[in-house]
Chain A
Amino acid sequence: MNADRLYDRSPRFVIELITAACLVAAPFVLPYLGAAPNTVNRILVWGLFGIGFDILFGYTGLLSFGQSALYGTGGMVAAYLLTRAGFPHVVTALVIGMVAAAAVGYLVGLVALRRTGIYFAMITVAIAEVFYFVEFNPLSDFTGGENGLPGVPTPRFDLGFVKLDFSTGWSLYPFLAFCYFLGIVVALRIVRSPFGAVLRAIRDNPLRAAAVGHNIHGYKLAAFVIAAAYAGLAGGLLGVMQAFMPPDAFMFETSGQLVMQTAIGGRGTLFGPLVGAGVWLFLQDFLQGTLGLGASWKLVLGIVFVLLVAFLRQGIIGGIRDLVRWVRHRAAPAREIAAEEAAPIVAADRHVAPLPAHPVAHAAGGEPILRASGLTKRYGGLLANADIDFAVMQGEIRGIIGPNGAGKSTFFKMLTCEVAPTSGTIVFEGSDITGRSVTDVCQLGLTKSYQVNQLFNRLTVRENVTIAALAELRGKFRLDMLRSLLNVKGLQEQVERTLALVGLTARRDVPVAQLAYGEKRRLEIALALASSPALLLLDEPLAGMSPRERVETVGLLKSIARGRTMIIIDHDMDSLFELAGRITVLQEGRVLVEGTPEEIKSDAKVQEAYLGGVNEDLAA
């Protein structure tokens, strides 16, 4: 399962079938390899626990050290129901435990996800410790304190014609294997869905994912809850497997073990945690039993872990995959897609119909599509933008120029609501968007392409555009986890159109890392285009380009200008004067002057701003 590919090219259900086959074969094959049934059962439980964690960490990029809290919660709720509360049905209790863990995960996520990256990791550590303490002491009536909850029964099904009684060892295996299989099937659907695609976008570039119109907080919370549900179910199964729900489930060490197993097996593969658990438990038995190392088996494991993190970033599964790929490359000479052979933009595809822009709320002529009034931004003592009044009519191409430090990028950031203005208002299509979020604004039809490329670096060209298009087609948040990405109506069309417009159709399956700089800039523009904006801002689209690339890009910009409004910042005044109908000049945070390219070229104030008045002296 390759996390990096959104579009699964393997034949349908191959992975599911192989998994089922392996699970069925295991009890016949593994005993010959010396595996004890209880060990295999444990591996399955850890594997299931890890599926949810992998979705959270491998696919969404959120490293949580607090999964033990949810594992324990689900397990304790299920065990409590089955032991002290005398609840009769094991499977129902497991489901209730899972739901309880998901609910708790939701509440925990609300707190923890307020921060990202390292802060998030630290908070999850603290949460794990707090939960351990709480279950140990204040709630010990429910959790049995340090004794745990003993006496958890195993499942029994009375189907009428046959009674299924799963007790321990190999007898319990079918039940656990079935649960794991279900877990994998659901997880595979999730990662192949549009929801799963957005998760990966968040992992690669959360900033851009939000800017193309996804409500990343909602997605993260959903991923967190999913991980919590898997953890809760696994916790319940642990209690059933051992006939005893231990307090150790809540310990921070449990979270740590999960993280290590996932990293060892391979993150972002869904099966990584299973492999990692196998390695861990195997080494534990082997090193302690066969080699008689006693307590120092953990040292060996720690060293193995560090080495894997350093050298095999995608763990064992990743390593195997790379090996297979390397072998294949040697077997068949590859068609190397050289980075230098950048495909030129095929004669600007005039035949491609422009992407329909958002229908504008107000008809052309009359109110401007965008009006900023008194827009000011202050950073501490620094005044980046001062009292800017700015209006653009629909269908216009406006250029913005100004010397360095004029505050152009800050101005753009305020327009897209990446940054909140210190004072002033912005009205877009008649509604006040001041202080709203960049996601909402993008959904309304205002978006930007960035000065420094903000791409999804681990995805291909086509996948990058897909992410942006998904926001356009599905809105900022949708829990369509069980839908296939291929089934989203209009997605392929939108993606193909956008790619054609920027001339990247031939390079659609190339990973971003292998693109030439010019191609990356085009992709950058494509990301903004894919949301079909009514108003498109371009921050220095020509930066760093060779003269030939500039000409091509100007042609591209002209072709996409049809049917939409554009504002372009750039330093290349020749190109900008060719493109734009009107130019606004900023200097030191204020609007200096506004007019047609002709007027601006000959404006004395502009010359002075750029040249410092030398021209005047010479003319005089």
Chain B
Amino acid sequence: MSNSKQSPTRRDFMRLGLGAAGGLAMSGGFIPRVFAADQPPIGTWPAGMSGNSVFIGIAVPRTGTYAVQGEDELKGWQLAVEHLNSGHPLMQKISPRTKKGVLGKEVKYGVADSAAKPNDAVQAEQRFITENKAVLMTGSTSSAVAVALNKLAQREKVLYVTGISGSNDTTGKDCVRYGFRQNFYGQTAAAAIGPVIVKAYGKNKKVAYLTPDYTYGHTVTKSCQDYLATAGWSTVTNQVAPLGAPDYSSYLLNVANSGADVLINVNWGHDAVLSTQQAQRFGILDKMKLVIPYQIPFLAPEVGNNLTAGVYAATDFWWTLEDKFPLAKMFVDEFRKKFGYNPEWGANNAYMSFAMWADAVENAGTFYPPDVIKSFEAGRKLQSTVGEVYIRKEDHQCVRPVIIVQGKKQSEMKNKEDFWNVLEIVPGEGLMQKPDAFGCKLGDYT
């Protein structure tokens, strides 16, 4: 959104004049603005950092289809805040300039239930901005929420780092200058898992898709289809189901009768659990190989019956990476110590997002949003739980590896959380689309 180009002095005079001219019918309390020496106020700066602490607004689903994943994410953020405030060594490895807090200020946060509804998330974050002067927003499990908060961030001039968001659009056509994404997404997932399944199953296979009916579903399916076509794989059916469908029988019957060799299930959250369980009951999993191109936290335990054995999936993080990356080991240990289970990829994404933000702020030396944004865009390489990563300045997407996993058989599991075997760590550079391929046009800094 563009701004008036007038100098702040005249604009403020206009506002005061309006207040008087409005008179009887129209009046409002305009927040008196405090002038910084050289920069006009923007968003919640400088009001949000006037005290000893800064506030982060978190809108996460605690009820509804994605509640389980939301709770896991939330713990990642909570751990990150604790580490930031105490200057934990893990945090300092990722954000070297961090001492205690962020630029010396304590980090506080507030949590609201978005129920994966964009409207509720926007409502909650607007409150966090006006009431608590939040300097950072986060939260999403549904890409619809991520896109909505992207736009809110750009309008309110408050930074936003996404939670889980898998749609290409979040850093594609719906990208914004004030939004940043850490995790992997449709394009990179398809590009990573494609070669693996082609190698495993061969060329010229017939594929059936189960797609949830919203942008995340459509973009991931499309990315898969585009990649697999290069290996001669053809789509025999694409069953599009509404979010939260209780019964997949009609779709699954179509799939069962389609003659496909492979079933690619793009459904997410509880929908993935249900559709997979029902697919098994319709005998589909005996006839076809199941592939999960965008893994869901807690899929394996929820779906039960060891249905994930032998299944290929692409994910952002799995706790056994602790054997490969020292930072991953630190993270998994700290998380397990505090919460009693091994973190899923949502929690890892949350932690990393905050750490990257802290690093950007520390490097900018200020909370002033345009400077923080430029700090993000500087292309600094950071050490993360999966090796070296950086933010691509053209679309604010983090360039990072995609993890290919395969489900373990019950007999191979060494403990009750050992569901997946890490097969490959595919570097991110080669997976991503060209920066402008998805129509990303970042907006203004101010």
**Interface of A with B (CB < 8 Å)?**
20, 24, 27-28, 31, 36-39, 42, 133, 136-137, 145-148, 150-151, 153, 162-165, 168-171, 173-174, 177-178, 242-244, 246-249, 288, 294-295
Nearest chain B CB to A300 CB, angstrom units: 15
Interface status of B62 (Cβ within 8 A of chain A): yes
Contact A38 B123 (CB under 8 A): yes
User: With A169-B130, A244-B151 given, is the CB distance from A147 to B123 under 8 Å?
Assistant: no
Contact A248 B1 (CB under 8 A): no
Q: How many chain B residues touch A (Cβ–Cβ < 8 Å)?
A: 46
User: With A38-B123, A174-B27 given, is the CB distance from A244 to B214 under 8 Å?
Assistant: no
User: With A247-B118, A295-B63 given, is the CB distance from A147 to B130 under 8 Å?
Assistant: no
Contact A27 B151 (CB under 8 A): no
Interface status of B378 (Cβ within 8 A of chain A): no
Nearest chain A CB to B56 CB, angstrom units: 17
Contact B29 A178 (CB under 8 A): no
Contact A147 B144 (CB under 8 A): yes
Nearest chain A CB to B407 CB, angstrom units: 29
Q: List 6 A-B contacts (CB under 8 A).
A: A38-B130, A39-B127, A136-B214, A162-B17, A164-B18, A243-B151
Which listed residue, A145, A171, A295, touches B214 by the CB 8 Å rule? A145
Interface status of B174 (Cβ within 8 A of chain A): yes
Which listed residue, A24, A36, A168, A248, touches B156 by the CB 8 Å rule? A168
Nearest chain B CB to A71 CB, angstrom units: 12
Contact A31 B14 (CB under 8 A): no
Nearest chain A CB to B152 CB, angstrom units: 7
Nearest chain A CB to B216 CB, angstrom units: 9
* Complex CA distance for A37 and B18, rounded to whole angstroms: 19
Interface status of B391 (Cβ within 8 A of chain A): no
Contact with A along B10-27 (1 / 0, CB 8 A): 000010011001101111
* Complex CA distance for A171 and B148, rounded to whole angstroms: 22
Which listed residue, A169, A178, A294, touches B26 by the CB 8 Å rule? A178
Contacts of B65 in A (CB 8 A): none
Nearest chain A CB to B167 CB, angstrom units: 9
User: With A148-B148, A244-B118, A249-B119 given, is the CB distance from A28 to B29 under 8 Å?
Assistant: yes
Identify the interface centre among B4, B18, B118: most chain A CB within 10 Å of its CB. B118
Per CB-CB distance, the 7 closest pairs between chain A and chain B, nearest first, are A150-B151, A174-B26, A246-B119, A146-B214, A248-B119, A170-B28, A146-B144
Nearest chain A CB to B242 CB, angstrom units: 8
Contact B118 A294 (CB under 8 A): no
* Complex CA distance for A167 and B413, rounded to whole angstroms: 57
User: With A171-B28, A173-B28, A174-B28 given, is the CB distance from A36 to B118 under 8 Å?
Assistant: no
- A173, closest chain B residue (CB): B28
Interface status of B324 (Cβ within 8 A of chain A): no
Contact A146 B24 (CB under 8 A): no
User: Can you add 14 more A-B contacts, CB < 8 Å, to A173-B28, A242-B122, A294-B113?
Assistant: A37-B130, A38-B130, A146-B215, A147-B169, A147-B174, A147-B214, A147-B215, A148-B118, A148-B119, A148-B144, A153-B1, A171-B28, A243-B152, A247-B144
Contacts of B152 in A (CB 8 A): 242-244
User: With A146-B243, A148-B144, A164-B18 given, is the CB distance from A31 to B119 under 8 Å?
Assistant: no
Interface status of B126 (Cβ within 8 A of chain A): yes
Nearest chain A CB to B326 CB, angstrom units: 38
Which listed residue, B14, B24, B126, B169, touches A24 by the CB 8 Å rule? B24
Contacts of A249 in B (CB 8 A): 119
Contact A42 B123 (CB under 8 A): yes
Contacts of A171 in B (CB 8 A): 28, 30
Contacts of A28 in B (CB 8 A): 27, 29
Contacts of B147 in A (CB 8 A): 147, 150
Contacts of A288 in B (CB 8 A): 112-113
Nearest chain B CB to A22 CB, angstrom units: 13
Contact A162 B215 (CB under 8 A): no
* Complex CA distance for A37 and B127, rounded to whole angstroms: 9
Interface status of B155 (Cβ within 8 A of chain A): yes
User: With A27-B29, A38-B126, A247-B118 given, is the CB distance from A136 to B21 under 8 Å?
Assistant: no
Contact B62 A168 (CB under 8 A): no
Contacts of B130 in A (CB 8 A): 36-38, 168-169
Contact A163 B14 (CB under 8 A): yes
Interface status of B206 (Cβ within 8 A of chain A): no
Contacts of A147 in B (CB 8 A): 118, 143-144, 147-148, 169, 174, 214-215
Interface status of B117 (Cβ within 8 A of chain A): yes
Contact A137 B213 (CB under 8 A): yes
- A243, closest chain B residue (CB): B155
Contacts of A136 in B (CB 8 A): 213-214, 242
* Complex CA distance for A248 and B24, rounded to whole angstroms: 36
Contact B14 A242 (CB under 8 A): no
Interface status of B131 (Cβ within 8 A of chain A): yes
* Complex CA distance for A195 and B131, rounded to whole angstroms: 45
Interface status of B375 (Cβ within 8 A of chain A): no
- A34, closest chain B residue (CB): B131
- A39, closest chain B residue (CB): B127
- B147, closest chain A residue (CB): A147
Nearest chain B CB to A606 CB, angstrom units: 70
* Complex CA distance for A165 and B242, rounded to whole angstroms: 40
Contacts of A153 in B (CB 8 A): 1
- A295, closest chain B residue (CB): B63
Contact A248 B118 (CB under 8 A): yes
* Complex CA distance for A89 and B390, rounded to whole angstroms: 42
Interface residues of B in 261-305 (CB under 8 A from A): none
Interface status of B150 (Cβ within 8 A of chain A): yes
* Complex CA distance for A219 and B129, rounded to whole angstroms: 46
Contact B148 A150 (CB under 8 A): yes
Contact B118 A170 (CB under 8 A): no
Contacts of B117 in A (CB 8 A): 246, 248
Identify the interface centre among B112, B126, B142: most chain A CB within 10 Å of its CB. B126
* Complex CA distance for A70 and B152, rounded to whole angstroms: 25
- B22, closest chain A residue (CB): A174
Nearest chain B CB to A128 CB, angstrom units: 15
- A248, closest chain B residue (CB): B119
Nearest chain B CB to A5 CB, angstrom units: 29
Contacts of B151 in A (CB 8 A): 150-151, 243-244
Identify the interface centre among B117, B119, B215: most chain A CB within 10 Å of its CB. B119
Nearest chain B CB to A456 CB, angstrom units: 39
Contacts of A38 in B (CB 8 A): 123, 126-127, 130
Contact A162 B144 (CB under 8 A): no
- A136, closest chain B residue (CB): B213
Identify the interface centre among B17, B25, B113: most chain A CB within 10 Å of its CB. B25
Contact B18 A162 (CB under 8 A): yes
* Complex CA distance for A168 and B157, rounded to whole angstroms: 12
Nearest chain B CB to A84 CB, angstrom units: 12
Interface residues of B in 105-147 (CB under 8 A from A): 112-113, 117-120, 122-123, 126-127, 130-131, 142-144, 147
Contacts of B29 in A (CB 8 A): 27-28, 31, 170
Contacts of A247 in B (CB 8 A): 118, 144
User: With A170-B28, A178-B25 given, is the CB distance from A150 to B1 under 8 Å?
Assistant: no
- B126, closest chain A residue (CB): A38
Nearest chain B CB to A143 CB, angstrom units: 12
- A148, closest chain B residue (CB): B118
Contact with A along B21-50 (1 / 0, CB 8 A): 110111111110000000000000000000
Identify the interface centre among B14, B27, B169: most chain A CB within 10 Å of its CB. B27
Nearest chain B CB to A21 CB, angstrom units: 10
* Complex CA distance for A307 and B34, rounded to whole angstroms: 49
Contacts of A243 in B (CB 8 A): 151-152, 155
